[in-house]
């Protein structure tokens, strides 16, 4: 008997029924999540100010939440869904229309195409693609849910001074509610408690040097 490529339980085909059901539900949710996340990226002229009015400045900046931009921008949810849709079409020998329209419509069409072929994904998709799809959709769904239905907000503890290659990063450093590893929201680097103490000293030293130079 084969094993589920997602949870490794004994099953027939590529995914066990529970994992396939969860994949289908998450694919149904993601288009709605794309629409909801778009509200985070509205121009600030659409966001009420303290007096309840709206700024009309054409140069008003976007109130960008970096993680949300990653999810709805290039390479985010829509791109991932469309990439998997194309991979599945190739495996099935089908030709599907190229992507068109706005992000909401593209997300709906790509997710619907994958859900319509869920039985094939579960039972017959060659290689390990079904498991990889299920894991990637789970990750995207979880990342979107953290913004749309947060349980407890992480604490911002600073900004990352450098990326993995030493280049400037500037990503927001967050400590999850209840403690744990500090994470950079831009480059995804993480630090355990002892590593974070070393990084924090470096950040504070750099801030002191900047203040003295000023």
Structural domain count, the chain: 2
Q: 190-191 and 10-11: which strand pairing?
A: unpaired
- The last residue of one of the domains, among 91, 116, 148, is 148
pLDDT, tens only, 82-136: 999 999 999 998 887 777 888 889 999 999 999 999 999 999 998 899 999 999 9
Domain limit, last residue, from 99, 121, 148:
148
Q: Are residues 164 and 208 in the same domain?
A: yes
The domain in which residue 198 lies consists of: 155-213
Q: Are residues 135 and 207 in the same domain?
A: no
What tens digit of pLDDT does each residue of 53-65 get? 444 333 434 445 6
Q: What is the CA radius of gyration of the chain?
A: 21
Candidate from 44-53, 148-157, 166-175 with smallest mean pLDDT: 44-53
Domain closes at, from 99, 116, 148: 148
| Statement to judge: residues 162 and 144 lie in one domain | no
110 shares its domain with 162: no
Give me the chain's average pLDDT, please.
79
The H-assigned helical ranges of 93-126 are 103-116, 118-123
Q: Report DSSP state, residue 213.
A: H
Residue 125: name the closest of 93, 78, 79 by CA: 93
| pLDDT for residue 51 is more than 50 | no
More confident residue, 140 or 164: 140
């Amino acid at each position: 008997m084969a094993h589920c490529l997602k949870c490794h339980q004994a099953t027939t085909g590529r995914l066990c029924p529970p994992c396939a059901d969860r994949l289908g539900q998450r694919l149904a949710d993601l288009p709605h999540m794309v629409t909801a996340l778009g509200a985070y990226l509205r121009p600030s002229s659409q966001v009420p100010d303290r007096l309840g009015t709206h700024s009309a400045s054409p140069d008003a900046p976007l109130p960008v939440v970096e993680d949300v931009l990653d999810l709805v921008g290039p390479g985010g949810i829509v791109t991932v869904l469309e990439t998997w849709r194309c991979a599945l079409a190739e495996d099935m020998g089908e030709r599907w229309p190229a992507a068109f329209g706005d992000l909401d419509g593209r997300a709906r069409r790509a997710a619907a195409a994958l859900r319509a072929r869920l039985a094939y994904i579960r039972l017959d998709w060659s290689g390990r693609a079904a498991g990889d799809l299920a894991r990637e959709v789970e990750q995207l769904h979880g990342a979107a849910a953290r913004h749309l239905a947060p349980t407890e907000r992480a604490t911002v503890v600073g900004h990352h001074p450098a990326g993995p290659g030493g280049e400037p990063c500037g990503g927001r450093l967050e400590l999850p509610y209840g403690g744990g590893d500090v994470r950079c929201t831009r480059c995804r680097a993480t630090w355990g408690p002892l590593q974070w103490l070393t990084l924090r000293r470096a950040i504070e030293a750099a801030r002191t040097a900047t203040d003295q130079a000023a």
